[in-house]
A and B are shown apart, each in its own frame.
Chain A
Amino acid sequence: MATPAPIEVPPPNDRRGSRASQTSVHTQDEISPVGGPPTSPSPLQIRASRESSRKQSATKQPPDLSLLQYVSKPDSNLMCLICHCPFSDPLQLECEHIFCGDCLHTWEAQQAQQAQQRNRELADRKCPTCRTKYTGTRAVPKIIASMLDELVVNCPHTRAGCKWVDQRSNVKDHVMLYCEYTPVACSSFDCRHHIAQKDYHKGCLHYTVSCEQCHTSMMKKDLEVCVTDHQRTACAGRSTNCPHCSCELLRLDLKAHIKDVCGKVVVPCQGAIVGCAFSAERAEVVTHEKGCPMATMAPHFRDQQARIERNEARLEPLSRKVGILEDGLSNITNMLYPANANDSSYPVTNPLDPNTSEPFPPASLVPTPDFRLPPASFPPVPPNDTSQTPFQNPSQPPFDSQVHHLLTLHDSLREEVSRIANALTECEGRTNMMVINESQRVKDEMLHTNAAINGMRMQLHWLMSATLHQRTSSSASSSTGRAAASTSASGSGSAPTQGASRSGTGGTYHAPLRRLSDSTRQDTKL
């Protein structure tokens, strides 16, 4: 007891380290089937399946009804005569005797086995109670089932600390879903122990530690889960003496004892917060406090103090809100009236009268959470719009408080800003319209010009092709004149000569006008 140093055997960190190395070895083993045939499952799959099978084997078990503790002794008529427990999944025979389904089936199986051993057919199944032959079973009457359901039981994990008590029909849901003490698989991968559901998130607690006081070795889990139990009942070093009054008490309660109970500890008078300077052992202080007016007043003062603190805490966000509002307002005013930018006194320079503008919806008076209006987001106000705002500053209605006043101002300003925004939109629409009209007109003119240009181009082409045609026909007539001397040269060029020249030259100039104009048009299009 001289040096109660905490000894942990072995230290958990070391344990963790060795465990980590083990797992790494494991993973290496699991990686090995990489080179297997393509049909074999991948190492990842193997691992996943292993994990799932392990977790499945460790999932919560539904409670065994025959092990339940009943709060009151159940009616003897509800007892199965085979297992001497209240029926679970009961079945009724034709003789109206009732047994647990499991009990009856075990009995039937044993009978059948015996008959087989004697090489005899199991002639008849007989009721264990009255030996009446029966051929089948049926469900028990509703009333029996509901009487069984209504039996009040303790949680099967009462020993672990669960306080749940309810009807038997609910016990399965409780254990499977709600009970904090249901054992589940430990969260650590390579740990095979179970742990109560409520301690699952604490990680693996299955390593040995020793109690700080009595050096008893125990699982960390047990120390963790019932540390108070251990120190209250089991621990050898659980009792200690108070250093002040030397009375014997549990180590667990020592702090609370010194703080609130021990009569020998020197404590100040309760009235110290109001100024009482008395300070002595607790026993004396108690007698002193009976006569001390300041100690009598102390609770009231404490209440007051608490109330003041509460109010201050409530005031703080309000003042912040007001500051933000003031900032926003000054920004708005500065923007609206650059002349008054240096003036900071709002009530004097306030240009807006809420009475002249449209009535606000009542909700707008309530400070909304999005009242924070950064000044940069305000669009610059065109000067002609300011003329629409009421400039006059008539008598203001008396405001309840500055906050109210500021809020009213803020709202009217917001109204104004929205009106300005509307005007801006309208203006923009008008401008757009104008631009569209203007451009339409320009487009039309362009079309006209284009048409005229095209006409001119057509004419030019026609003229050019006509000239070309004239030139070729004249040269052709000269060559034919040379070839056939009998034919007298004629400038107008007859049809037969044209046909000859066409066959001779390969039809280079046939249908010149039409094609030429077509091709030129295509060119212009391109």
Chain B
Amino acid sequence: MFASKRLAKELQKLHDKLPPGITLVKADDLQEWIMDIRVVDNNPIYVGEVYRLKFTFSQSYPIEAPEVVFVRDETHPIPWHPHIYSNGIICLDLLDRQGWSPVHNVESVCVSLQSMLTSNTKKERPEGDDNFVRNNRLRPRDINFIFHDNQV
């Protein structure tokens, strides 16, 4: 109830106006949305690529954080970033339950990710990416990340 009301309002706003580089791809229901983002400036790592994000909302959104992952298909790769695993899982305090705040919304999350990519200079995966990708069966929200990097 709470979630659907708020999501309906956000959707209305997203239809209205979006920041540059962010597009709404699919929002058929109030549970799973697909957004596309691209990096606006000329960061050589990301230039010319569009990344696809999947938002999954729980019933208690926005009190609880949405689950946000990059998804890969033919045209949309997973961006290179030291905090983004190759299976699309993002290590960002904002998306963790400790760092989440109900004042965030889909648009602000997209903008945050955008800026995270923009400021990145290293084309690499996180430490132990292979291992994590192979072994992780947890959902992103249940992973306990350790946030160490305050650069992003």
Contacts and interface: CB of A to CB of B under 8 A. Distances in A.
Interface in A84-131: 84-85, 103, 106-107, 110, 114, 128-129, 131
B103 A81 contact: yes
A66 interface: yes
Contact residues on A (Cβ < 8 Å of other chain), bracket: 10 to 19
B63 to A, nearest CB: 5
A82 B5 contact: no
B36 interface: no
B130 interface: no
Interface in B99-152: 101-103, 105
Contacts of B62: 82
A85 B13 CA distance: 13
Given A110-B63, A110-B64, A128 B101 contact: yes
Given A66-B5, A84-B6, A84-B9, A110 B60 contact: yes
A128 B103 contact: yes
Nearest to B10: A84
A131 B101 contact: yes
A83 interface: yes
A106 B64 CA distance: 10
A66 B62 CA distance: 15
Given A82-B103, A129-B103, A106 B5 contact: no
Interface in B27-86: 60, 62-64
Given A84-B10, A85-B9, A103 B101 contact: no
A374 to B, nearest CB: 76
Interface residues of B, number: 14
B10 A103 contact: no
Contacts of A81: 102-103
Contacts of B5: 66-67, 83, 85
B97 interface: yes
Interface in A314-370: none
Contact of B102 (A66, A82, A85, A114): A82
Given A83-B2, A114-B97, A107 B102 contact: yes
Interface centre among A66, A67, A84, A85 (most CB of B within 10 A): A84
A131 B104 CA distance: 12
Interface string A56-78: 00000000001100000000000
A12 B12 CA distance: 45
Contacts of A103: 102
A129 B9 CA distance: 19
A114 B97 CA distance: 9
Contacts of B64: 110
Contacts of B9: 84-85
Nearest to B105: A84
Contacts of A67: 5
Interface in A3-49: none
B51 to A, nearest CB: 26
Interface string A158-178: 000000000000000000000
B11 to A, nearest CB: 11
Contacts of B101: 128-129, 131
A67 B2 CA distance: 11
Interface centre among B10, B103, B105 (most CB of A within 10 A): B103
Contact of B2 (A106, A129, A131): A106
A131 B5 CA distance: 25
Interface string B1-25: 0100110011000000000000000
Given A82-B102, A110-B60, 13 more contacts: A66-B5, A82-B62, A83-B2, A83-B6, A84-B6, A84-B105, A103-B102, A106-B2, A106-B63, A110-B64, A128-B101, A129-B103, A131-B101
In the A-B complex, the 8 residue pairs with the smallest Cβ-Cβ separation, listed nearest first, are: A81-B103, A128-B101, A82-B102, A84-B9, A128-B103, A110-B63, A129-B103, A128-B102
17 contacts: A66-B5, A81-B102, A81-B103, A82-B6, A82-B102, A83-B2, A83-B5, A83-B6, A85-B9, A103-B102, A106-B2, A106-B63, A107-B63, A107-B102, A110-B60, A110-B63, A131-B101
